Amino acid sequence: MSAVLSITDLSIEFGPKGSGRTVVDSVSLDLTAGRIQGLAGESGSGKTVTAMAVLGLLPDSAKVTGSIRLGDTELLGMPTRQLRSIRGMRVAMVFQDPSASLHPQITVGSQLTDHVRHHLKLKRREAKERAVELLARVRVPNPEEALSRYPHQFSGGQRQRIAIAMALACDPEVLLADEPTTALDVTVQAGILHLLRDLVAERDLAVLLVTHDLGVMSAVADDMAVMRHGRIVETGTREKLFRDPEHPYTRELLEAMPDAQESEVL
């Protein structure tokens, strides 16, 4: 299977040239359509900055080298204007805190319809239909009525569903999900992960799922990469890594899991 997104030899350094701190060191990862690539590792290991690099969202103080290819297009070094046309359209992102993608003072309906009107050049009525369809798809109850509500009028889990609807609004090929369920309690978390799995299958999405939580990883990832101090120390299918981890750090992480075993796919 060919990769939709290929990260090759990605390195990221912060601080003055020559005396900066390397936070990502020669990372390579391929994302494939219809599969969830997990990226696990302790806090500060470089997971988030890796995902941010894909969308060119790192501050100017970051020195980024290597290659990030979306199909035939090289994203690293691409001018911001051009990158903007890829963000949200071909590569979308959901964050731990859905507020990062939702404006608190604009109704959910306006945010969704503005987004699709702007990117897909839809007429007002078509945009509204699409917004209702998207909210229904992510299982927000009463989607029509939900359009006139503000983000704070929804629960945390519902807000994350709305953020996912925004991310998927333009049918991206790649979804970057950074700790999308970390702020939610366990039952709500399960619902979101279930939804993510369904959407990946249905839309042939290629997903990068960043999480420090191996429980989340074991529930939905097809493939896993384990990151430590900016480097990937082990990669493999979920089954392989959970059943037969090779790197001592992967074993350490697995042993630290509450029930230290692979959970069933939700």
Ligand X SMILES: Nc1ncnc2c1ncn2[C@@H]1O[C@H](COP(=O)(O)OP(=O)(O)OP(=O)(O)O)[C@@H](O)[C@H]1O
Chain residues binding ligand X by CB under 6 A are 14, 23, 41, 43-49, 59, 61, 212
Nearest to 179 by CA among 59, 52, 9: 52
Our CB check for ligand X shows the closer of 116 and 216 to be 216
The smaller minimum CB distance to ligand X, of residues 26 and 107, is found at 26
The CB-of-68 to ligand X minimum distance in angstroms stands at 15
Closest by CA to 221, choosing from 229, 231, 230, 211, is 211
Smallest gap from Cβ 160 to ligand X, in A, equals: 17
Nearer to ligand X, 9 or 144 (CB): 9
Closest to 219 measured CA to CA, from 209, 228, 227: 209
| CB-CB contact of 23 with 14 (8 Å) | yes
Q: How far is the CB of 25 from ligand X (least distance, A)?
A: 11
CA distance 203 to 168: 10
By residue count, the chain amounts to 266
Comparing CB distances to ligand X, the nearer of 14 and 150 is 14
Q: Residue 182: what residue type? A: T
In the sheet that 36-40 helps form, which strands lie side by side, from edge to edge?
Answer: 91-94, 174-178, 206-210, 36-40, 223-228, 231-237
Query: Dihedrals φ, ψ of 116, to 5°?
Result: -75, -30
- In angstroms, what is the minimal distance from the CB of 131 to ligand X? 31
Nearest approach, Cβ of 53 to ligand X (angstroms)?
9
Nearer to ligand X, 58 or 138 (CB): 58
The amino acid present at 234, given as its one-letter code, is E
Tokens of 84: 């903007």
Distance in Å, CB of 112 to ligand X, minimum: 28
Residue nearer to ligand X on the CB measure, 41 or 56: 41
**Shortest Å distance, C-beta 180 to ligand X:** 13
Output 44 or 77, the one with its CB closest to ligand X. Answer: 44
Beta bridge pairs of residue 224? 38, 236
